[in-house]
Amino acid sequence: MNILIVGLGALGTVYATFLKKGGHQVWALTKEKYLPFFAEKKVITSGIWGEVSASLNGISSCITPCLDVDFDLIILTVKSYDTYEAICQVRPLVEERTLVLVAQNGYGNYETVSDVVGKSHTLLARIIFGARLRRMGEVEVTVMADKVRIGQPHGAVREEAIVSLAEEMDRCGIPTAYDRDVYLLLWEKIIYNCALNPLGAILACSYGELAENRETRKIMDGIIEEIFLVARTRGISLRFRDAEEYREIFYEKLLPPTAAHFPSMYYDLMAKKPLEIDSLNGAIVKLAKEAHLSVPVNETIYHLIRAKEANYRRKND
């Protein structure tokens, strides 16, 4: 396959490395300021899936070098606040048979991408492995709670094509499976991330430390309870009867394999980068307000993260 990776952060580097090593032709887009780090077009992934290195076909900041390539797959791995700009940038590369895989955190990315390129070109991934960027072009996979699950929430892409893609990614070394209920899985990941990521970033704690602390556990319980209220009111389907059932799975099965993991939001905060709070707790606050619901715990977390961002933006001005 001809594959384009949009964004060479931790996740994009993992996909670029394994897919290229697996025999595919792989190009990548990154921001211009990062191009000097990729002069040799080399990417390296280490960690729990082994050490793999690869040289990509091309790395650029614009699509001009890619215009003559017929892409089978475009994988979007940018931060959620860059989703619209990124999908508009690569829209000219989406041909009749091109699929775009949304491999991002949070709510709203699939909706944004499918609005631009159409549902028949858009696949959704639920990703629950953790990767840490050691330096540009070099990443470590640190933890995995489950395989990557990919699918098309509205049945707009042939199931056989998605199954084939999942099997190929799995063969290349990224544990992947097809799931027709991928949108349900994404919402479970949204709940997981809303409960853990901002608190881990603010308090500089691993997921396990958050779960072991009685006070942070109360906050996480409140976040989860409010999200279930929003989902129930907004007609968003979930696989769990209520927040209590989800919390049991969350603390006993989902969290333990990732207990030592620090959220990517923590590393972004340390690097004074913009944070993906709008697609997580911020999205919950927005959905709640539209339904005239009160979600004080999520709203407080949202404003705490915004305050952190404002502090380091002000210091940089």
User: Can you give the CATH number for the domain in which 44 is found?
Assistant: 3.40.50.720
Give the residue, 257 or 114, on which the prediction is more confident.
114
In a shared domain, residues 189 and 124: no
Question: Does position 276 have pLDDT exceeding 80, yes or no?
Answer: yes
In a shared domain, residues 162 and 29: yes
Q: Which amino acid is at 100?
A: V
In a shared domain, residues 72 and 149: yes
Pick from 44, 54, 79: nearest CA to 3: 54
Read off the pLDDT of residues 183-242 as tens digits, 9 standing for 90 and up: 999 999 999 999 999 999 999 999 999 999 999 999 999 999 999 999 999 999 999 999
**Domain tally, the chain:** 2
Q: Is 230 helix (H, G, I), strand (E, B) or coil?
A: helix
Phi, psi at residue 179, to the nearest 5°?
A: -150, 120
Q: Average pLDDT of the chain?
A: 96
Question: Does position 297 have pLDDT exceeding 70, yes or no?
Answer: yes
140, 164, 179: which is the final residue of a domain? 179
Q: Are 39 and 58 in contact (CB under 8 A)?
A: no
**Rounded distance between C-alpha atoms, residue 308 and residue 51, angstroms:** 35
151, 179, 207: which is the final residue of a domain? 179
Residue with tokens 């009111």: 233
In a shared domain, residues 136 and 251: no
In a shared domain, residues 168 and 205: no
Predicted local distance difference test score (pLDDT) of residue 145: 84
Pick from 161, 140, 204, 154: nearest CA to 72: 161
Percent of the chain at pLDDT exceeding 90: 93
Predicted local distance difference test score (pLDDT) of residue 46: 98
Predicted local distance difference test score (pLDDT) of residue 315: 72
Percent of the chain at pLDDT exceeding 70: 99
Pick from 184, 186, 267: nearest CA to 194: 186
Residue-number span of the structural domain to which 171 is assigned? 2-179
Query: How confident is residue 313, by pLDDT bands cut at 50, 70 and 90?
Result: confident
In a shared domain, residues 12 and 156: yes
Predicted local distance difference test score (pLDDT) of residue 105: 83
Read off the pLDDT of residues 134-176 as tens digits, 9 standing for 90 and up: 999 999 999 888 899 999 999 999 999 999 999 999 999 999 9
Q: Give strand pairing partners of 46.
A: 140
Whole-structure pTM value:
0.92
Predicted local distance difference test score (pLDDT) of residue 317: 61
In a shared domain, residues 57 and 165: yes
**Rounded distance between C-alpha atoms, residue 272 and residue 83, angstroms:** 20
Read off the pLDDT of residues 204-215 as tens digits, 9 standing for 90 and up: 999 999 999 999
Question: Does position 257 have pLDDT exceeding 90, yes or no?
Answer: no
Question: Does position 258 have pLDDT exceeding 70, yes or no?
Answer: yes
Tell me how crowded residue 96 is: count the other CB atoms within 10 A of its CB: 7
**Rounded distance between C-alpha atoms, residue 110 and residue 237, angstroms:** 16
**Rounded distance between C-alpha atoms, residue 26 and residue 279, angstroms:** 28
130, 161, 179: which is the final residue of a domain? 179
Catalytic residue positions, numbered = 189
What does the pLDDT average to over 28-52?
A: 96
What does the pLDDT average to over 69-96?
A: 98
Phi, psi at residue 135, to the nearest 5°?
A: -160, 165
In a shared domain, residues 135 and 274: no
Give the residue, 257 or 306, on which the prediction is more confident.
306
